[in-house]
Amino acid sequence: SQQGEEDPQALSIQEGENATMNCSYKTSINNLQWYRQNSGRGLVHLILIRSNEREKHSGRLRVTLDTSKKSSSLLITASRAADTASYFCATDAGNSNYQLIWGAGTKLIIKP
């Protein structure tokens, strides 16, 4: 079952611009995670935000969480060519199950 849904499906911006990706989910959660996947590779964890947090920063990444709207956004500031990748959000199901539920991802292309 798919809980997270990323928006947009694809995003193309110029190097140096900011990139914003959104994730919506359906049920209550304990936390939400963002991952990056470079072409044809495994996923790399970027950031985890808990349900009682509203905003979190890590370097050029800023994640917000709005539990009332069941949505999260990932902002990448001052984008670089190396940020070209697919970005996925993953949520737990709000229970003790080990499973993460994944969205289909946003494909981000940074044009030089």
Residues near another protein (CB under 8 A): 1-2, 4, 30-31, 33, 40-45, 48, 50, 88, 90, 92-93, 96-100, 102-105
Cβ closest to another protein, residue 76 vs residue 101: 101
CB atoms within 10 A of CB 70: 18
CB 12 within 8 A of CB 111: yes
Cα separation, 55 vs 72, in Å, equals 9
Cβ closest to another protein, residue 15 vs residue 48: 48
Cβ closest to another protein, residue 23 vs residue 110: 23
Instruction: Work out how close the CB of 74 gets to another protein at its nearest, in angstroms, rounded to a whole number.
Output: 15
Residue type, position 20, single letter: T
Instruction: Work out how close the CB of 41 gets to another protein at its nearest, in angstroms, rounded to a whole number.
Output: 6
Backbone angles phi, psi at 81, to 5 degrees: -55, -35
Instruction: Work out how close the CB of 106 gets to another protein at its nearest, in angstroms, rounded to a whole number.
Output: 11
The closest alpha carbon to 110, from 38, 33, 40, 27, belongs to: 38
